[in-house]
Amino acid sequence: MISLALIGFGNRAGKYASCLDGRARISVIVEPSAERRLYAVSKIGIPPECCFCRFEDFVSSGIHVDAVIIASPDRTHYDYACRCLRHGWPVLLEKPMATDAAQCVDLARLSAETGVGITVCHELRYHPYFIKLKELAGDPALGRPLTVDWTIDVGLNRMMHSFVRGMWGREKDSAPIAATKLCHDVDLLLWMLPGEPSEWHLAGERKFFRAENAPEGAAARCLDCPLEKGCKFSAVDLYLRRREWISNFIPLPGESVDEMLHRILRESDFGRCVFFSDNDVNDTQTIEMVYPDGLRAVIRMDCIRRDGERKAHLVFENGEIDAGGSTITLRRKDSAPETYDFSGIIGSPLHAGADKKMVHEFLDSVTSGKTTRTDLSSALKSHLICIS
């Protein structure tokens, strides 16, 4: 059985741990938070002596692993991935693969030089919806793609939790939102469209989540705010009343869930007013890609709508595709529209099983040495576009 080390035991790592299906075991956790190491012991039954605060301590423990999953914060990816490659350990690496372009290129170089593979977590390439979209877009009868309009609604709750109050709200802690969020969208387009863009333009700003947009009288923390009831950005409403986005919060020993949520709202960034957080990442973002044959693909990110979703309109010489919500509709010239309905699976866990397919393909590659669908070399261009 394949032995794995997990670097960073948070939300993503927990999901990957649930995808192993007896094909691999987690032999090591590297996680600086004592709380999260304890959580790993209780959640996946790993012995405490196999949980390390520092990567160096894991290496000097001499515990054997065959491969590593890196699901730690963005700014740690490059350094951990380089170290794993030098040890000869294939890596399943969370996106973004690194936070600057030179590091991305360097990782590709080191992977080629060592002959050790890196699979980048672009799980949407394993999602049945996007697999169908790629298949339809690749139909030669449609002719050349001429324009692509692609929108990504981050969803208000995700935006507030992750990109305003949370770890991806400040570029110094992560990277620009083009890299931390839109890299999936650029990756999908590069994967499904023929050729490669020769030019790209990024434009964006932090327009909305700024102090000057706070309503008169708003307090720095939602718990203290006289305007909290009825505020659609309220952290009290999101976490305490609706109990959404709380799965990654861990209670202290003896603490009830209510006590934990009050502590988090009182003490952490998750309790701050969205207009008075230290966020600096863009809340509107556009990426335009121009292909040598004239194809223009434009990605627009929005963040204020409550529900997150992707929508796309692709125009070809001989037809059009509309994708949005849970359906894809193909309109060929001179024939009735064909609609494909994914409503039965679209919101199902683990990205409709895509996470699991990606992990399994990674595990296969550890044994066979074959490259995976989302091998680093296939994800390099999208990262260079997003990080430029």
Ligand X SMILES: NC(=O)c1ccc[n+]([C@@H]2O[C@H](COP(=O)([O-])OP(=O)(O)OC[C@H]3O[C@@H](n4cnc5c(N)ncnc54)[C@H](O)[C@@H]3O)[C@@H](O)[C@H]2O)c1
Nearer to ligand X, 5 or 218 (CB): 5
Residues numbered 170 to 229 that lie near ligand X (CB under 6 A) are: 180
Q: How many residues bind ligand X (CB under 6 A)?
A: 23
Nearer to ligand X, 348 or 367 (CB): 348
Q: How far is the CB of 222 from ligand X (least distance, A)?
A: 21
Q: Which residue's beta carbon is nearest to the bound ligand X?
A: 10
87/107 Cα distance (integer angstroms): 14
Question: For ligand X, which residue of 2, 32, 250, 331 counts as binding (CB under 6 A)?
Answer: 32
Q: How far is the CB of 268 from ligand X (least distance, A)?
A: 12
Binding to ligand X by CB under 6 A, coded x per residue (else -) over 66-85, reads -----xxxx-x---------
**Contact window for ligand X (CB under 6 A) among 3-11, 277-285, 307-315, 324-332:** 3-11
330: three-class secondary structure by DSSP = strand
Nearest CA among 5, 13, 62, 45 for reference residue 29: 5
Nearest CA among 93, 179, 181, 191 for reference residue 384: 179
Nearer to ligand X, 54 or 242 (CB): 54
69/67 Cα distance (integer angstroms): 7
220/74 Cα distance (integer angstroms): 28
Q: How far is the CB of 354 from ligand X (least distance, A)?
A: 9
One-letter identity of residue 310: R
Nearest CA among 70, 68, 20, 28 for reference residue 48: 28
Residues numbered 80 to 119 that lie near ligand X (CB under 6 A) are: 94-95
Nearer to ligand X, 36 or 356 (CB): 36
Q: Which residues contact 155 (CB under 8 A, 6 or more apart)?
A: 303, 305, 306, 307, 308, 309
Question: For ligand X, which residue of 82, 118, 121, 218 counts as binding (CB under 6 A)?
Answer: 121
Continuous segment of H or E residues that includes residue 240: none
Which structure tokens are listed for 126? 């394993």
Q: Does 251 bind ligand X (CB under 6 A)?
A: no
Nearer to ligand X, 16 or 342 (CB): 16
Sequence-ordered strand ranges (E) for the chain? 2-7, 24-30, 51-52, 67-70, 91-93, 118-120, 145-153, 199-205, 284-290, 296-302, 309-316, 319-324, 327-332, 338-341
Q: How far is the CB of 39 from ligand X (least distance, A)?
A: 9
Q: Does 33 bind ligand X (CB under 6 A)?
A: yes
User: Within 13 Å and on the Cβ side, how many CA atoms surround 155?
Assistant: 11
172/228 Cα distance (integer angstroms): 29
Instruction: Please say whether the beta carbons of 145 and 295 come within 8 A.
Output: yes
Q: Does 167 bind ligand X (CB under 6 A)?
A: yes
Nearer to ligand X, 93 or 214 (CB): 93
Q: How far is the CB of 9 from ligand X (least distance, A)?
A: 5
Question: For ligand X, which residue of 19, 20, 24, 36 counts as binding (CB under 6 A)?
Answer: 36
One-letter identity of residue 95: K
Nearer to ligand X, 127 or 300 (CB): 127
Question: For ligand X, which residue of 4, 10, 129, 245 counts as binding (CB under 6 A)?
Answer: 10
Per CB under 6 A, residues contacting ligand X are 7-12, 30-33, 36, 71-74, 76, 94-95, 121, 123, 167, 180, 248
